[in-house]
Structure 1
Amino acid sequence: MVQDGMKFVLRIRNVQGSEEGFYKIKVKYYNEEVGSTAMVTVKENLRVSRTFQDVKASAGQEVILKCEVNREDVTAEWKKDDKLLTEGRNVVMEQRGKEFILKIKHAQKSDTGFYTCLVKSGSEEVKISAEVAVEEFDREWRSINFNPQTRNKLEAELTQLRPQLEPLRILLYGPIGSGKSSFINSIDIVFKGKISTGALADAAGAGISFTRRFQTHKIEKKGTSEFLPFVLNDVMGLEDEKSKGVHPDDIMSILKGHVKENYLFEPSAPLSEEDPDYKRDPSPTDKVHCLVCLLPADKISFLTDDIFTKMRSIREQASDMGIPQVVVMTKPDTACQVVKSDLRKIYYSMKIKEKMQECSNRLGVPMNCIFPVKNYHEVTELVLEVDVLILNALSTIIHFANDYARQNSHFLG
């Protein structure tokens, strides 16, 4: 307490809650007396009364972060990796009095990060932080058995197939470097039971298309001189510029069976009816019975809109013709470290599912028609997991093709 002339001061240092109450001062001068009363309210310092901890979650699970402070006269904002978070379809923020809640409904790999709740009241602020780590799925999101029985069963079904038309024709297309020729080689390897190079592939991965001519590839049955009841065609890769890569009109001509064997692709000049390589009266087996798009998992995000515009146009025209379509997503081991370490984890991987979803969104193909496949290009011996993935995708392709041939026998004939 201090008196400075006519000024009286009461100073309470480091005020506590116990010092809250009414304070009165009396000032006397001879027989005179005056006084003043005031209420001192001690507001508690803003502090955290309940915090949240680091979270480890499996993909698809709900993540909830809750914290609480000691006062209600507060507001809060949430940040992820020091960037302001906003509400969306998958992110919900709530305030219930002194409690703040952040919900991530279906956690994905991209939700991994450092989360902070910054609570403010006037000039006071407190923050609570924790790390959220989203790990791979705890169960398969697509079922597949990696065992010799599955491999042998798939191989036998394809070997013993007696299709509506023989041979069924499968056309492979996609951007340069997507692994079209490698996929054909890999199928050949699976059925021969040894490493081979039936359709030469560009091992260097150059930025130009390796395939220049239209060729038909037959797959030989192991231990015989007979061929499987389907053939595979590869085409020049798609590129950004109109004057580069296979012309979409050439793909349409192939679908209709108008292109002769060994036709040389000319990006700037698609096949015309006057061309000697134009087949005027194609047979039912000259026509394509299933269209397969190959996309590299590690490059999907980097492919330009021009490439996807071309592929969507091809897909839509094929759909108008009723031709079934499948996407084979190559190089999954390059896109995901988990898969690179263990191919059996391919349908546990968040990254692979995200890449498949991106492929589905950009190309317009349903998820159940997209198959991640690892081609043979490094190993010198057969690998069970590689075989099963290839045979599983091929089985769907061939059954789609056979269903199309059976349902359209009047048209194809």
Structure 2
Amino acid sequence: MAEIQRCYKSVLSKWLGGRKEFTLLYQATRDGCSASVFHQKCNGKGPTVTLLYNTAGYVFGGYTSIAWTATTITCVCGYAASYPPDTTKWTCSYCGAKGNESYLSTTSQYSNDPAAFIFRLTDKKSFKPKFYRVKQAGNAVIQNSLNGPCFGSDLQPFTKTVTKTDNYFQGNGSINVGTHYNMAGDDNTVFCGNNVQYTDIEVYQVTESEGKHFASASADGAWRKTGQVNCQMLQSYIERFTPPEGSKVKAVNMLLLGAVGAGKSSFFNSINSVFQGEITGLARSGSADRSLTTTYRRYRVKSNVTGDTLKIRFCDTRGLECDGGLDLVDLIAVVEGHIPDRLQFNPTAPINSDCTGYNSSPSPDDKIHCIAFVIDGTTVDVFPEKILHAIKSLQQRINTKGIPQVIILTKADKVCMEVQENVGDMFNSATIGDLVEQAGHLFGLPRSCVFPVKNYEDEVEVDKLVHMPLLLCLKQVLRFADDYLQDSISSD
């Protein structure tokens, strides 16, 4: 059964005024894009949220606090029948007409709902939530047995039955925003890209949450306690860190590994920004279907306070992809230190000893000392199986080597509206606490190895509230790497 994505749940709950639960009632890809099935599954179920996904990457929909209901449908002969019949097999008991929805008609009935609103959650796959209040409450919802969920005359996705073609349902209703809902100047293009090709349509029942969430929050509400530590203390610790004597390591090598678009290059840029005191963009980052990182890079960070270079290298690779990207052979070669800085990856062939610059005899200083799985926090609920399998395969190989692993959850601010408004609430958000627990379970790592962060994306100036989660993550990585190196020394 599909679950509403955590970031959608968070913002919808905020708009609805409290922690809510969302139970899937209807899904077009599962149940068929059929008005009769929609009504059979959703009528009388109380408040609902409808989500529509289109081929342009928009997620949008509507909320109503009242239940969907049936209206009387009528055969063309004038005979009225109680709903619901099966409109594809219905036979009129009066004239015998059957088997075609064109024989049926119905009268729309408007329902009053001052609490109704329509909304957009994503814009071209980018999470940009915005909601629009009803301005004519008496026309908030249209009840029509031959239509799917209708929000006034503004949002009417489909009528009767739509067959899926080319991986989408072609909407045969209409979108005309601004009629019964206050769009504040936004039009169809802003709302949904003016696209009615639906990859899926979902309707969720909305109920009050029973309050079951991350159970390890402290008495003051924090799920992760940071004690009396502050950014200056953390930054000073990191600046003073040196690998243990006898490890033959000049600097800790931290491998950043994640799917395309997860934010691993942005994570390095954010760390660099912290220590430079201004927003930087040394590592190439952005939005693309394929990895923007095409070479293996070992980045260093210099502190603008001490003037010294940190004793940590951030090792950036191509992003993992469901179809292409780094394979296990390449990953093992990176972990074992065979790959020199600035090696260009070949997308058609794995790395081998014949590659230019291949290091056949890596020293401890060449090898990876900690692996950070960089995960887009908004995708934990729907993490790609192929990429998860690749990560699990790598974990099986490196677990025997004892190399420490952490999870960096980027875009944590987009998972929780409270954190989006105030990054300082990162460790007080039950939603983030839930996410940390889920991510740890997904990758088989304890919660103490999972670090939610916000990368610098829109900002043009640094912010101490953004620094704190980043620095806590980096300090723990250095601690884990130090333990690993100390153990390596004792085993020699």
TM-score, normalised with respect to structure 1: 0.65
Instruction: Indicate how the Cα distance of structure 1 residues 281 and 298 shifts in structure 2: closer, same or farther if over 3 A, else same.
Output: same
Alignment gaps of 5+ in structure 1 = 1-55, 60-80, 84-112, 115-129
Alignment gaps of 5+ in structure 2 = 1-16, 21-43, 47-64, 67-205
Q: 1:260 aligns with which of 331, 340, 352?
A: 340
Within the alignment, does 1:228 sit opposite 2:228 as a pair?
Answer: no
Query: After superposition, where does 1:332-411 map in structure 2 within 5 Å?
Result: 332-409=412-489
- Does the 8 A contact of 1:214 with 1:261 survive in 2? yes
Q: 1:217 aligns with which of 299, 305, 310?
A: 299
TM superposition shift of 1:309: 0.6
User: How many Å separate the matches in 2 of 1:311 and 1:254?
Assistant: 14
Instruction: Indicate how the Cα distance of structure 1 residues 407 and 131 shifts in structure 2: closer, same or farther if over 3 A, else same.
Output: closer
* Match in the other structure for 2:126: none
User: How many Å separate the matches in 2 of 1:318 and 1:160?
Assistant: 28
SS of the equivalent of 2:387 reads helix
Instruction: Indicate how the Cα distance of structure 1 residues 131 and 181 shifts in structure 2: closer, same or farther if over 3 A, else same.
Output: closer
User: How many Å separate the matches in 2 of 1:131 and 1:335?
Assistant: 20
Amino acid at match of 1:259: I
Q: 1:329 aligns with which of 409, 418, 438?
A: 409
Query: After superposition, where does 1:129-278 map in structure 2 within 5 Å?
Result: 132-133=208-209, 139-144=221-226, 150-164=230-244, 165-202=249-286, 205-223=287-305, 225-241=307-323, 244-278=324-358
Query: After superposition, where does 1:5-154 map in structure 2 within 5 Å?
Result: 82=45, 132-133=208-209, 139-144=221-226, 150-154=230-234
Structure ranking higher in strand proportion: 1
Amino acid at match of 2:433: K
Per-residue Cα deviation, 1:77-136 (whole angstroms, up to 9, x for no partner): xxxx949xxxxxxxxxxxxxxxxxxxxxxxxxxxxx99xxxxxxxxxxxxxxx9634568
User: How many Å separate the matches in 1 of 2:307 and 2:360?
Assistant: 32
The CA RMSD over aligned residues, in Å, is 2.9
Amino acid at match of 2:437: Q
Per-residue Cα deviation, 1:179-228 (whole angstroms, up to 9, x for no partner): 111110111111111111121212xx111101000011001021455311
User: How many Å separate the matches in 2 of 1:282 and 1:178?
Assistant: 29
SS of the equivalent of 1:346 reads helix
- Does the 8 A contact of 2:242 with 2:251 survive in 1? no
Larger CA Rg, structure 1 vs 2:
1
- State the identity %: 27
User: How many Å separate the matches in 1 of 2:367 and 2:472?
Assistant: 24
TM-score, normalised with respect to structure 2: 0.55
- Does the 8 A contact of 1:346 with 1:352 survive in 2? yes
TM superposition shift of 1:302: 2.5
Instruction: Indicate how the Cα distance of structure 1 residues 258 and 332 shifts in structure 2: closer, same or farther if over 3 A, else same.
Output: same
SS of the equivalent of 2:374 reads strand
- Does the 8 A contact of 2:234 with 2:472 survive in 1? yes
User: How many Å separate the matches in 2 of 1:389 and 1:268?
Assistant: 38
User: How many Å separate the matches in 1 of 2:230 and 2:306?
Assistant: 22
User: How many Å separate the matches in 1 of 2:411 and 2:210?
Assistant: 23
Name the count of aligned residue pairs: 289
- Does the 8 A contact of 1:290 with 1:324 survive in 2? yes
SS of the equivalent of 1:286 reads coil
SS of the equivalent of 1:194 reads coil
